[in-house]
Amino acid sequence: MIHVHQDPVVVTGVGATTPLGGDVPTTWDALLAGESGVRRLTQEWAEALPVRIAAEVAVDPAGVLERVEARTLDRSQQLALIAAREAWRDAGSPDVQPERLAVVLASGIGGVLTLLSAYDILKERGPRRVSPHTVPMLMPNGPAAAVGLELSARGGVHTPVSACASGAEAVALGLDLLRLDRADVVVVGGTEASIHALPMAGFAAMRALSTREEQPETASRPYDKARDGFVLAEGAGVLVLERAAGASARGASTYAEVAGAGITSDAFHVAAPDPVGAGAARAMQMALADADLTPADVVHINAHATSTPVGDLAESGAIRTAMGSATDRVAVSATKSQTGHLLGAAGAVEAIFTVLALHHRLAPLTRNLDDPDDDITLDVVRLEHRHLGTGAALSNSFGFGGHNVALAFRSAG
Amino acid sequence: MPASESDILQGLAEILQEVAGVAPEQVTPEKNFIDDLDVDSLSMVEVVVAAEEKFEVRIPDDDVKNLRTVGDAVDYIKSAGVAA
């Protein structure tokens, strides 16, 4: 028999490692300060690439994890583990039965660095030299499994894969698990570590990446007239979710409520967004309805806004379709202007940013928006961060494949 | 010339430190790889491949299951080296 909880789901812990910082407080401070995590790549393998800028994590995981622990984990698993440990600590290490603890940890590409380096070993040294750790390191569910092992989660470990919407989909699925009583605490998030010649060559071949190499820190410029593509980034974000009654019973403090989610698909094109953003608009409308909110309740939107010419415009139209005249009263932030695009981790990291925006009542600024595109009819926060009233916020994530996920959050109590 | 028992023990200790983070002083002949040194089945494969390379011996999978302690491995590598 299906048991559906009416009790709100809340965020009690957050953790992240991003191009702006090795944890959430450092990342948030850098975000408010308008910093950029984008750099020129200096590695030898990057030299021949058409695009040699990216946003690597600010703190190398090698300096955080024990060497022996790290050597059997793909970089995407390492980043997930670092973020999960911070989130779990931040939540006060909930004393939950292992059978009632679940993990939903997404990745867009999975252990691609391991796959490619293992293939190099296969070609150069032969099959007997391929590490027995190769498969557990390259499988897309590897980061979820690593976090599940770390926290002794026996209530199910899941890995949604929907390209750049993966991290947001993990939050949405975590919400469902708690509403459906499949768990009492769910650790959700996303991770990505794919800064390597092959993925970069692939994205560059799609003409999806910014080629503004001479000034890397200005390359990610959502909504600006001169935007020319996204900047590939890496990192991880993890949130601890639980029902409000459980959080309050153990005296945990709450950042915000995960009030609702909407998931749609375009069925339009494998990579190009629907130009009118119909699926994206429907996702936002579904999230609002699911959260029992109206557009007038929304004070802030963390946009997907990757800095591609077509994608930013489609999302702008979608927001106006979903929000109607309320659009003019919403402070929109495009935080990829600072972090770059964390692919499968983006939705989770931006869910954290949205939750913190409500918690601190501050919308982060959008960097590099020097000359706003006249066709973008949104109130985008630029130049400096902006104070917010209490209310609700949306976080949008869209992925290759036509995936649209919108998450709705509400200010805590 | 085949390696001596103490050379093999020292070589195994280096491999176990690299692969599984085992402190070299822990690596003594009576220690069981799984129960005492916490080497899991995947890491054991790494230990075997690294030992084959280091000591220039071949350790077939069928023989690996008999190598329960460090001492078993030292004896095996010593005799395999002589046979080679």
pLDDT in tens, chain A (413 residues): 778 888 999 999 999 999 999 999 999 999 999 999 999 999 999 999 999 999 999 999 999 999 999 999 999 999 999 999 999 999 999 999 999 999 999 999 999 999 999 999 999 999 999 999 999 999 999 999 999 999 999 999 999 999 999 999 999 999 999 999 999 999 999 999 999 999 999 999 999 999 999 999 999 999 999 999 999 999 999 999 999 999 999 999 999 999 999 999 999 999 988 888 999 999 999 999 999 999 999 999 999 999 999 999 999 999 999 999 999 999 999 999 999 999 999 999 999 999 999 999 999 999 999 999 999 999 999 999 999 999 999 999 999 999 999 999 999 97
Residue A3 is a catalytic residue:
no
Does one domain contain both A184 and A315? no
Answer yes or no: is A254 within a domain.
no
Residue B15 CB-half CA count within 13 A = 24
Answer yes or no: is A391 within a domain.
yes
Residue burial B8-33, b: 16+ Cβ < 10 Å; e: rest = bbebbbebbeebbebeeeebeeebeb
Average pLDDT over residues B54-58: 94
Does one domain contain both A122 and A162? yes
Residue A341 is a catalytic residue:
yes
Alpha carbon distance A79, A19 (integer Å): 12
Specify the number of domains making up chain A: 2
Of the candidates B21, B42, B45, the beta carbon closest to that of A68 is on B21
Say if residues A359 and A331 touch (Cβ distance below 8 Å): no
Range B54-57, long-range pairs (CB < 8 A, 24+ positions): B54/B11, B54/B15, B55/B3, B55/B8, B55/B11, B55/B80, B55/B81, B56/B81, B56/B84, B57/B81, B57/B84
Alpha carbon distance A279, A21 (integer Å): 33
Q: Which residue in A304, A359, A385, A403 is the catalytic one?
A: A304
Complex prediction ipTM: 0.86
Please choose, from the candidates A380, A315, A337, the residue with its C-alpha nearest in 3D space to the C-alpha of residue A226: A337
Answer yes or no: is A352 within a domain.
yes
Which of A249, A278, A301 is the last residue before a domain boundary? A249
Paired tokens of A318 = 């979608």
Answer yes or no: is A402 within a domain.
yes
Say if residues A81 and A163 touch (Cβ distance below 8 Å): no
B20–A129 CB contact, under 8 Å? no
For chain B, say whether A70 makes contact (Cβ under 8 Å): no
∠ CA A91-A95-A97, rounded to 5°: 125
Answer yes or no: is A3 within a domain.
no
Does one domain contain both A198 and A308? no
For chain B, say whether A40 makes contact (Cβ under 8 Å): no
Residue B81, pLDDT > 90, answer no
Does one domain contain both A242 and A276? no
Answer yes or no: is A116 within a domain.
yes
**Strand A101-107 versus strand A53-54 pairing type:** unpaired
Alpha carbon distance A83, A79 (integer Å): 6
Which of A249, A274, A307 is the last residue before a domain boundary? A249
Say if residues A346 and A397 touch (Cβ distance below 8 Å): yes
Paired tokens of B36 = 């005492």
In degrees to the nearest 10, what's the CA dihedral of A129, A133, A139, A144? -160
Paired tokens of A366 = 């959008």
Does one domain contain both A396 and A272? yes
A133–B42 CB contact, under 8 Å? yes
**Predicted TM-score (pTM) of this structure:** 0.96
Does one domain contain both A206 and A75? yes
Does one domain contain both A86 and A231? yes
Please choose, from the candidates A360, A358, A356, the residue with its C-alpha nearest in 3D space to the C-alpha of residue A348: A356
C-alpha to C-alpha distances, A100 to A80, A108, A154, A379, nearest whole angstrom = 21, 26, 7, 42
Residue type, A297: D
Q: How far is A132 from chain B (nearest CA, A)?
A: 6
For chain B, say whether A269 makes contact (Cβ under 8 Å): no
∠ CA A90-A101-A150, rounded to 5°: 65
Domain that includes residue A90, residue range? 9-249
Does one domain contain both A350 and A241? no
Of the candidates A72, A128, A136, the beta carbon closest to that of B49 is on A128
Which residue is associated with the tokens 């199910």? A156
**Which parts of A91-224 fold into alpha helices (H)?**
112-125, 134-138, 142-151, 166-179, 197-205
A63 CB-contact burial (10 Å; exposed 0-12 / middle 13-18 / buried 19+): exposed
Does one domain contain both A297 and A193? no
Residues on B contacting A at a C-beta cutoff of 8 Å: 19-21, 42-43, 45-46, 49
Sheet with A101-107, edge to edge strand ranges:
A157-158, A101-107, A185-192, A235-243, A9-17, A256-265, A403-411, A392-399, A298-302, A331-333
For chain B, say whether A121 makes contact (Cβ under 8 Å): no
Beta bridge partners of A332: A301, A380
Residue A234 CB-half CA count within 13 A = 28
Does one domain contain both A58 and A76? yes
CATH number at residue A147: 3.40.47.10
Answer yes or no: is A4 within a domain.
no
Does one domain contain both A216 and A276? no
Answer yes or no: is A1 within a domain.
no
Which residue is associated with the tokens 């999960």? A84
Which of A197, A216, A249 is the last residue before a domain boundary? A249
Paired tokens of A29 = 């401070």
Does one domain contain both A274 and A236? no
Paired tokens of B67 = 């190598």
